[in-house]
Amino acid sequence: MNSDLSVKTLTLSNPYKIKKMGTSGLRQKQEVYNQPLFLEQFVQGAASYFSEITERENIAENNKTILLGGDPRMSNKKRIDTIARILIGNGFRVMIAKKGLASTPAMSNGICKLKVAGGIILTASHNPYTDVGIKINNADGSPALEEAANRMHDLQNSVSEVKIADQSALNNGKYTEYVDIIKLYTELLDKIFDFNEMKSDLKKFNLKGAFDPMFGAGGPFAEAVFIDALGMDTRMIRSEPREDLGGRDEKGEPLHPEPDFDYIKELIQLNGSGGYDIVSAWDSDVDRRLNGGSGFFVESADEFTLFAKYSDLINIETLFENTIYFCRSTVTADTIDKMENFLKSKFSRREVKIVETPTGFKWIAELGNWGVEESNGVGNPYIREKDGIFASVFLLKILLKTGKTVKELVEDIWKEFGRVYFTRGEISGSDDTEKEQLARILNNAAEFEGKRFKTLTLESAGSWDYIHPVTGKTASKGAAWVLKFSSGNTIKARFSGTGSSGYTLRVYCSKYDTRYDIPKSHITQPMKEAFDEFLRAGGFNRKSEKYIDANQPDIYKR
With contacts defined by CB under 6 A, name the span among 183-191, 237-245, 353-361, 466-474 that binds ligand G1P.
353-361
Evaluate whether 242 touches 217 at the Cβ level (below 8 Å).
no
Considering the complex, state which of residue 6 and residue 496 has its C-beta at the smaller distance from ligand G1P.
Answer: 496
For 293, list phi and psi in degrees, rounded to 5: 165, 155
Considering the complex, state which of residue 332 and residue 392 has its C-beta at the smaller distance from ligand G1P.
Answer: 332
Other Cβ atoms within 10 Å of 2 Cβ, number: 10
Interaction of residue 305 with ligand G1P, rule CB under 6 A: no
Please identify which residue in 92, 211, 215, 361 interacts with ligand G1P, judged by CB under 6 A. Answer: 361
Instruction: Provide the minimum distance between the beta carbon of 261 and ligand G1P in the complex, in angstroms, as a whole number.
Output: 16
Parallel/antiparallel/unpaired status of strands 278-282 and 208-212: parallel
Helices (H), 170-324: 181-193, 195-205, 218-222, 265-272, 300-309, 316-319
Considering the complex, state which of residue 65 and residue 369 has its C-beta at the smaller distance from ligand G1P.
Answer: 369
Interaction of residue 497 with ligand G1P, rule CB under 6 A: yes
Please identify which residue in 123, 498, 500, 510 interacts with ligand G1P, judged by CB under 6 A. Answer: 498
Burial 125-159 (b: 16+ CB within 10 A, else e): bbbbbbbbbbbbbbbebbbbeeebbebbbebbeeb
User: How many angstroms separate the CA atoms of 337 and 355, rounded?
Assistant: 8
**Angle made by CA atoms 356, 362, 367, in degrees to the nearest 5:** 60
For 69, list phi and psi in degrees, rounded to 5: 180, 170
Residue 11 class from Cβ within 10 Å (0-12 exposed, 13-18 middle, 19+ buried)?
exposed
Interaction of residue 380 with ligand G1P, rule CB under 6 A: no
Interaction of residue 284 with ligand G1P, rule CB under 6 A: no
Identify what 283 binds: Zn ion, ligand G1P, none; CB under 5 to 8 Å per kind: Zn ion
Instruction: Provide the minimum distance between the beta carbon of 158 and ligand G1P in the complex, in angstroms, as a whole number.
Output: 28
Q: Which x/- pattern over 102-131 shows residues binding ligand G1P (rule: CB under 6 A)?
A: -----------------------x------
Interaction of residue 502 with ligand G1P, rule CB under 6 A: no
Helices (H), 325-387: 335-338, 340-346, 362-365
Q: Which x/- pattern over 107-146 shows residues binding Zn ion (rule: CB under 5 A)?
A: ------------------x---------------------
Please identify which residue in 283, 299, 374, 549 interacts with Zn ion, judged by CB under 5 A. Answer: 283
Considering the complex, state which of residue 165 and residue 286 has its C-beta at the smaller distance from ligand G1P.
Answer: 286
Evaluate whether 513 touches 423 at the Cβ level (below 8 Å).
no
With contacts defined by CB under 6 A, name the span among 86-94, 453-461, 491-499, 541-549 that binds ligand G1P.
491-499
Evaluate whether 550 touches 422 at the Cβ level (below 8 Å).
yes
Interaction of residue 511 with ligand G1P, rule CB under 6 A: no
Host H or E run for residue 46: helix 38-56
Identify what 285 binds: ligand G1P, Zn ion, none; CB under 5 to 8 Å per kind: Zn ion
Considering the complex, state which of residue 360 and residue 388 has its C-beta at the smaller distance from ligand G1P.
Answer: 360
Please identify which residue in 15, 18, 21, 24 interacts with ligand G1P, judged by CB under 6 A. Answer: 24
Evaluate whether 459 touches 469 at the Cβ level (below 8 Å).
no
Size of the site for ligand G1P (CB under 6 A): 13
Q: Which x/- pattern over 226-265 shows residues binding Zn ion (rule: CB under 5 A)?
A: ----------------------------------------
Q: Give the start-end residues of each E strand in 126-252.
A: 131-137, 161-165, 176-179, 208-212, 233-236
With left for phi above 0 and alpha for psi between -120 and 50, is residue 479 left, alpha or beta?
alpha
Identify what 291 binds: ligand G1P, Zn ion, none; CB under 5 to 8 Å per kind: none
Please identify which residue in 285, 302, 373, 434 interacts with Zn ion, judged by CB under 5 A. Answer: 285
For 416, list phi and psi in degrees, rounded to 5: -80, -40
Site of interaction with ligand G1P (CB under 6 A): 23-24, 125, 359-361, 373, 375, 377, 496-498, 506
Site of interaction with Zn ion (CB under 5 A): 125, 283, 285, 287
